[in-house]
Amino acid sequence: MAKHERYQNRIELLQGTLDMLILQTLSWGAQHGYGIGQAIRAGSGDVLQVETGSLYPALHRLEKQGWIKSEWRNSEHNQRAKYYQLTAAGKKQLTSEYSRWSRMSAAIAGLMNPGESEGQA
C-alpha cells in the first residue's frame, strides 16, 4: 500500500507528468474524470493510481488553459457526468509535453546508467 502512495506523491510533484497522462488518455476519446483515473491505472499496469484530490484540480487547470473542454453527458450507466475531451491546442500541448518528458527521462536515465548513453562529454 505504501509503495503506491509514493507513486501518487510522485505524480503530484510531477505536475506536468499528470497533465501529460490526462491529455494522452483523452487522445483516445472523451472520458469523464473517473474513467480517466481508471484508464491511467489500467494503462500503467496498476502502478499509477491517481488520487481524485490531484485529478480534478488538474482537469480544472487543463480546462482553464484551454487544452481540454468539458460537457455534461449521460454516462454508460445513464447517470449525468462531466465528460472531457481534447482540444486542438491540447493535442499540440500533448506532443510538446511528451517530447519534453522524453528528453528529461532520457537525460535522467543517461545519468543513472551512463554505460547506456552515447558517451560522456
Partner 1 sequence: MGERTIPELLPGTLYMLILRTLSGGPLHGYAIAKRVKETSHQGLVIEDGSLYPALNRMLVKGWLEAEWGISENHRKARFYRLTPEGRKQLDHEAEEFDRLVRAIQLVMRTA
Binding site for partner 1 (CB under 8 A): 3, 6-7, 9-10, 13-14, 17, 20-21, 24-25, 28, 40, 43-45, 47-48, 98, 101, 103-112, 114, 117, 120-121
Task: Give 67's DSSP letter.
Answer: S
Is residue 6 classed exposed, middle or buried when 0-12, 13-18 and 19+ CB atoms within 10 A define those classes? Answer: exposed
Is 48 or 62 the residue whose CB approaches partner 1 more closely?
48
Cα of first residue to Cα of last residue in the chain, in angstroms, is 41
Is 89 or 104 the residue whose CB approaches partner 1 more closely?
104
Q: How far is the CB of 27 from partner 1 (least distance, A)?
A: 8
Contact of 97 with 103, CB cutoff 8 Å: no
Is 32 or 37 the residue whose CB approaches partner 1 more closely?
37
CA 22, 2, 107 angle in degrees (round to 5)? 55
Is 78 or 120 the residue whose CB approaches partner 1 more closely?
120
Q: How far is the CB of 81 from partner 1 (least distance, A)?
A: 22
From residue 90, alpha-carbon distances to 27, 41, 94 in Å are: 9, 21, 6
| Rg value, the chain, Cα | 16
Q: How far is the CB of 23 from partner 1 (least distance, A)?
A: 10
Q: How far is the CB of 110 from partner 1 (least distance, A)?
A: 6
